[in-house]
């Protein structure tokens, strides 16, 4: 079962990356049902194609003014040569959020937030932060604290496991054993800051069993969703982050038990032999809300 999820964002279970230069993949989006799409101007775009990527992105958003999923643009770091132009292109697209990669300290977020505040049509944009460098990991709690400061616009953390592995020299190990401590810290930091938090990508596109297992692991760690690189990965992510029928039944049982007049005024009761407190009822209500949102979203797909 997924741990308590933040209500800061809509459902983000299946969040698909699309390189902004890949025209075919951009068009394919109209036939897919991810919860969110991250249009990438950073690592999926070669350095000599950054200008073309921005142009394609603007064209794409001009044609597709709305979409049934949350839309996020990943720009290059603001301290690098492409960051500012990427930010302006992203703002012109009116996405729901801008994803800043390789965030290492609070000032990275605050610089972007300040820049957005000086642009008139950027009022509603949220910022998502990728945590994927050793320095970003070391400064994680200070970055996540910005979730409590509305002016910082921060609403989600995204684990960049490829970069983290490459920059740290760690091998992920079987079942990601070596990186789990860092993933768990990201979830805790996100909860402390009231942020959503997404797991990193699974590179082995043809390995469906491996993906399902990693999505299950991400849900068990408390992530709100998984970032994906291929349409074939959407269903596995969706399944792992949707509360099962059994989980929903149990949640209803807990909610109903507390609503029963015989339990009126009680802070702790027994349900099916187990001690249950108000915190369990609150978690049950969140789970049912998540299941309801998922159900409504899939009705919308039909």
Ligand X SMILES: CC(C)(COP(=O)(O)OP(=O)(O)OC[C@H]1O[C@@H](n2cnc3c(N)ncnc32)[C@H](O)[C@@H]1OP(=O)(O)O)[C@@H](O)C(=O)NCCC(=O)NCCSC(=O)C[C@H](O)C(=O)O
Annotated binding residues for substrate, as ranges?
Answer: 74, 132
Instruction: Pick the closer one to Mg ion by CB: 5 or 15.
Output: 15
- Can you read off the two tokens belonging to residue 226? 């998984």
Scored b (16 or more CB within 10 A) or e, 163-195 reads bbbebeeeeeeeebeebeebbebbbbbbbebeb
- Binding residues for Mg(2+), by number, are 132, 163
- Can you read off the two tokens belonging to residue 202? 């699974």
- Residue 35 touches Mg ion, criterion: CB under 5 A: no
- Residue 135 touches ligand X, criterion: CB under 6 A: no
User: Binding string, 5-34, against ligand X, x = CB under 6 A?
Assistant: -----------xxxx--x-xx--xx-----
Half-sphere CA count of 84, side-chain side, radius 13 A: 6
CB of 8 to Mg ion, least distance (A): 22
Query: Which one of residues 132, 199, 214, 224 is an interface residue with ligand X (CB under 6 A)?
Result: 132
Phi-psi region of 222 (alpha: psi -120 to 50; beta: other; left: phi over 0): left
Size of the site for Mg ion (CB under 5 A): 3
CB of 19 to ligand X, least distance (A): 5
DSSP string, 161-216: HHHHHHHH-----GGGTTTHHHHHHHHHHHHHHT-EEEE-----TT-HHHHHHHHH
Q: Cα separations (Å) of 221 from 10, 156, 184, 192? A: 19, 16, 6, 15
CB of 138 to ligand X, least distance (A): 17
- Binding residues, by number, are 74, 132, 163
- Residue 163 touches ligand X, criterion: CB under 6 A: yes
What torsion do the CA atoms of 140, 141, 144, 149 make, to the nearest 10 degrees?
-140
Query: Which one of residues 97, 201, 240, 287 is an interface residue with ligand X (CB under 6 A)?
Result: 201
CB of 188 to ligand X, least distance (A): 20
d(CA 191, CA 247): 22
Stretch that binds Mg ion, among 77-85, 129-137, 260-268, 284-292 (CB under 5 A): 129-137
- Residue 96 binds which of Mg ion, ligand X, none (CB < 5-8 A, kind-dependent): none
Half-sphere CA count of 1, side-chain side, radius 13 A: 17
- Residue 115 binds which of ligand X, Mg ion, none (CB < 5-8 A, kind-dependent): none
Instruction: Pick the closer one to Mg ion by CB: 9 or 163.
Output: 163
| Radius of gyration for the alpha carbons in the chain, expressed in angstroms and rounded | 20
CB of 122 to ligand X, least distance (A): 23
CB of 40 to ligand X, least distance (A): 5
User: Binding string, 219-238, against ligand X, x = CB under 6 A?
Assistant: ----------xxx-------
DSSP string, 111-156: HHHHHHHTSGGGTT-EEEEEE-SHHHHHTHHHHHHGGG-GGG-EEE
- Residue 163 touches Mg ion, criterion: CB under 5 A: yes
d(CA 215, CA 25): 23
Q: Which residues bind ligand X (CB under 6 A)?
A: 16-19, 22, 24-25, 28-29, 40, 43-44, 130, 132, 160-163, 200-201, 229-231
Q: Which residues bind Mg ion (CB under 5 A)?
A: 132, 160, 163
């Amino acid at each position: 079962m997924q741990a308590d999820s933040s209500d800061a964002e809509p459902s983000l279970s299946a969040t698909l990356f699309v390189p902004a230069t890949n025209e075919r993949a951009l068009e394919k989006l109209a036939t897919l049902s991810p919860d969110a799409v991250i249009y990438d101007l950073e690592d999926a775009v070669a350095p000599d194609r950054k200008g073309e990527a921005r142009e394609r992105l603007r064209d794409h958003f001009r044609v597709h003014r709305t979409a049934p999923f949350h839309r996020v643009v990943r720009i290059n770091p603001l301290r690098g040569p492409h960051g500012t132009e990427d930010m302006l292109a992203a703002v012109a697209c009116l996405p729901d959020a801008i994803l800043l990669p390789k965030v290492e300290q609070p000032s990275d977020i605050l610089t972007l937030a300040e820049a957005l505040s000086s642009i008139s049509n950027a009022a509603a944009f949220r910022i998502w932060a990728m945590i994927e460098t050793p320095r970003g990991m070391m400064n994680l709690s200070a970055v996540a604290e910005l979730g409590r400061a509305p002016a910082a616009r921060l609403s989600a953390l995204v684990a960049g496991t490829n970069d983290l592995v490459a920059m740290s020299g760690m091998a992920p190990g079987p079942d990601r054993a070596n990186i789990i401590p860092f993933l768990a810290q990201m979830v805790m930091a996100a909860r402390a800051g009231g942020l959503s938090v997404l797991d990193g990508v699974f590179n082995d596109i043809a390995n469906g069993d491996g993906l399902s297992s990693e999505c299950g692991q991400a849900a068990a760690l408390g992530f709100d969703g998984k970032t994906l690189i291929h349409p074939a990965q959407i269903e596995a992510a969706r399944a792992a982050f949707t509360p099962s029928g059994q989980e929903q039944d149990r949640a209803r049982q807990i909610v109903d038990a507390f609503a029963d007049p015989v339990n009126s005024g009680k802070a702790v009761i027994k349900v099916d032999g187990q001690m249950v407190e108000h915190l369990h009822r609150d978690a049950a209500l969140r789970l049912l809300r998540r299941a309801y949102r998922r159900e409504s979203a899939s009705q919308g797909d039909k």
